Amino acid sequence: MEWRDEGLIIGGRAYGERSRIVEVFTRDHGRHFGMVRGGESRRLRPLLEVGNQADLVWHARIDPQLGTFAIEPTVLRTARLFASRLALHGMNLIAALLRLLPERDPHPALYETLSVLLAHIDAPEIAPILLARFELAFLAEAGFGLDLSACALTGATQELIYVSPKSGRAVSARAGEAWRDRLLVLPPFFLDGRLLLVPSFAEVEAGFSLTGHFLARHFFSGQNEVLPEARAAFLREMDRTYPRGTPEPM
């Protein structure tokens, strides 16, 4: 068995004295593990850090085996990540979320969304917007997508400003007025793919509150389970670095 793909390194651990088991999220083969022979060597170890991207060749005698990776790095991000706490916490959050997906389950659309996010992971004015949208896309890819197309109560497609915390469906301003204290805020940048205006800090915060509610509900609802600490760390850094002020055109 053999395949070729591109992927993002999201984890790894030593295997024996010289090899390393690497966890990647690939475009067409999903989350996948493989052993890199000599991966603990001084030459290869820096290339296998979380956040780096690479062209991959996976080989195994039969499909269920762990298999081995031949890895050719294409993007090295270690320096960028360690130069920005926002980027480092963001990358750790991305890895934590991707590990929730089943192994070997392809998500090419999510990979494309991720590629855009990673290109701006250390930009404080855009990374939080893209990461909130990534969480929204992640929920959809995992089978828990929100229905933001029309009001759940009236079918209206205008003035959608709330989301039901139970159904995950949008609610219009008029229909939701009586229950506004019980509804989640739907920020405009979740609806407008063109992003004509830079969202305010309050809008971005509302976006993370919305996705956080459904992440907690569907993935972290056990007795001792909480949202990843990397998420809280990213939000703290966002609070420190995200530009405040009047929204401006993109």
- Is 135 found in the same domain as 94? yes
Contact 189, 212 (CB under 8 A): no
Distances from the Cα of 51 to the Cα of 45, 55, 89, angstroms: 13, 14, 11
Contact 99, 50 (CB under 8 A): no
- Is 200 found in the same domain as 224? yes
- Is 14 found in the same domain as 116? no
Query: Which domain-ending residue is among 43, 58, 76?
Result: 76
In terms of Cα–Cα distance, which of 192, 230, 191, 208 is closest to 97? Answer: 230
Structure tokens at 187: 């920020």
Contact 91, 51 (CB under 8 A): yes
- Is 136 found in the same domain as 114? yes
Query: Which domain-ending residue is among 46, 76, 106?
Result: 76
Which residues constitute the domain of residue 48?
2-76
- Is 116 found in the same domain as 62? no
180 is a domain residue: no
Alpha helices for 100-200 (secondary structure H): 108-119, 127-141, 173-176
Determine the Cα–Cα distance for residues 147 and 210; give it in Å rounded to an integer: 13
Burial class (CB in 10 A: 0-12, 13-18, 19+), 102: exposed
175 is a domain residue: no
Distances from the Cα of 238 to the Cα of 80, 139, 196, 215, 241, angstroms: 17, 21, 21, 19, 5
Residue located via tokens 């959050």: 93
- Is 203 found in the same domain as 131? yes
- Is 130 found in the same domain as 60? no
- Is 106 found in the same domain as 12? no
- Is 216 found in the same domain as 139? yes
Determine the Cα–Cα distance for residues 153 and 24; give it in Å rounded to an integer: 42
Count of domains forming the chain? 2
247 is a domain residue: no
Q: Whole-model pTM? A: 0.94
Residue 185's SS3 state is strand
CATH of the domain at 56: 2.40.50.140
User: Is residue 104 left, alpha or beta, with left meaning phi > 0 and alpha meaning psi from -120 to 50?
Assistant: left
189-209 pLDDT per residue, tens: 999 766 667 899 999 999 999
Sequential pLDDT tens for the chain (250 residues): 999 999 999 999 999 999 999 999 999 999 999 999 999 999 999 999 999 999 999 999 888 889 999 999 999 999 999 999 999 999 999 999 999 999 999 999 999 999 999 999 999 999 999 999 999 999 999 999 999 999 999 999 999 999 999 999 999 999 999 999 999 999 999 997 666 678 999 999 999 999 999 999 999 987 667 899 999 999 999 999 999 865 555 5
Distances from the Cα of 169 to the Cα of 97, 166, 184, 239, angstroms: 22, 8, 10, 28
- Is 230 found in the same domain as 136? yes
- Is 14 found in the same domain as 41? yes
